[in-house]
């Protein structure tokens, strides 16, 4: 399966991506995770990306598209992949379509996790991520078994740099102006499936599996 997960910041893309990738055995390609990994290891890409991410703005298209193309040509993406957080602009979507065509590939599913803007602040401000494996938690909606400690690897839970009120508001602005137009783009150029992202995590994944199994 080759799919894209669309959704506002904090809609639950990363959370659902983990469950989908485990069930369908496909690699999880999150541009945000790739950038954060590069930031934590201080690569040249990380240094560039950090300037934008910390302000809640998009990393420039050329850098981002290169990252995704380099990842998509790897062997493990041959039979499927899940893109989380890419594309995020109509230009990125057009470039992705051209690229997939050039390697004789197509998309099977574009899935929107639909969450009203009123949910976004609490989802992002309450998020904690594992500093060693990247797993994501929420202090209220998905707490770890032990406070501040990752269930999977016992790593320390930290808050993302861009999960403060000011930056979340900017990310939401950017989403509305630059990424939301992708909903119409995919409705016109492809088939867009939508799942209600207001439900709890397991209900959302149950509904996603119903769509993907069809």
51 is catalytic: no
Q: How far is the CB of 41 from ligand AP5 (least distance, A)?
A: 16
Q: Is 197 in the site for Mg ion (CB under 5 A)?
A: no
Backbone angles phi, psi at 206, to 5 degrees: -60, -45
Of how many residues is the chain composed? Answer: 214
Tell me which residue has tokens 């379509």: 97
CB of 127 to Mg ion, least distance (A): 9
For binding to ligand AP5 (CB under 6 A), which residues are involved?
Answer: 7, 9-15, 31-32, 35, 52-53, 56-59, 64, 85-86, 88, 92, 123-124, 126-127, 136-138, 141-142, 162, 171, 197, 199-201, 204
202: number of Cβ within 10 Å: 9
User: Interface with Zn ion includes 153 (CB under 5 A)?
Assistant: yes
CB 49 within 8 A of CB 38: yes
Q: How far is the CB of 188 from Mg ion (least distance, A)?
A: 26
Give the one entry of ligand AP5, Zn ion, Mg ion, none that residue 9 binds, where binding means its C-beta sits below a cut-off of 5 to 8 angstroms depending on kind: ligand AP5
Only one residue has tokens 């509305």, namely 176
Catalytic residue of the set 2, 123, 128, 171: 171
Q: Give the residue from 83, 82, 18, 89 showing the smallest Cα distance to 52.
A: 89
Q: Are 4 and 111 in contact (CB under 8 A)?
A: yes
- 14 is an interface residue for Mg ion by CB under 5 A: yes
Nearer to ligand AP5, 104 or 197 (CB): 197
């Amino acid at each position: 399966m080759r799919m894209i997960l669309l959704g506002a910041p904090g809609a639950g893309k990363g959370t659902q991506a983990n469950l989908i990738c485990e069930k369908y055995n496909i690699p999880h390609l999150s541009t945000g995770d790739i950038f954060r990994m590069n930031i934590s290891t201080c690569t040249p890409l990380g240094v560039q990306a950090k300037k934008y991410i910390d302000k809640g703005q998009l990393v420039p298209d050329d850098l981002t598209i290169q990252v995704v193309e380099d990842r998509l040509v790897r062997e493990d993406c041959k039979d499927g992949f899940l893109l989380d957080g890419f594309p995020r602009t109509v230009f990125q979507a057009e470039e992705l379509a051209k690229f997939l065509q050039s390697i004789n590939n197509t998309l099977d599913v574009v899935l929107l996790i639909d969450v009203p803007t009123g949910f976004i602040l609490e989802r992002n401000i309450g998020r904690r991520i594992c500093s060693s494996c990247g797993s994501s938690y929420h202090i209220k909606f998905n707490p770890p078994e032990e406070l501040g400690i990752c269930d999977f690897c016992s790593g320390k839970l930290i808050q993302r740099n861009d999960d403060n009120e000011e930056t979340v508001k900017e990310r939401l602005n950017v989403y509305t102006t630059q990424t939301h137009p992708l909903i119409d783009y995919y409705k016109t150029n492809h088939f867009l499936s939508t799942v209600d992202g207001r439900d709890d995590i397991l209900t959302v994944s149950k509904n996603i599996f119903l769509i993907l199994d069809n």
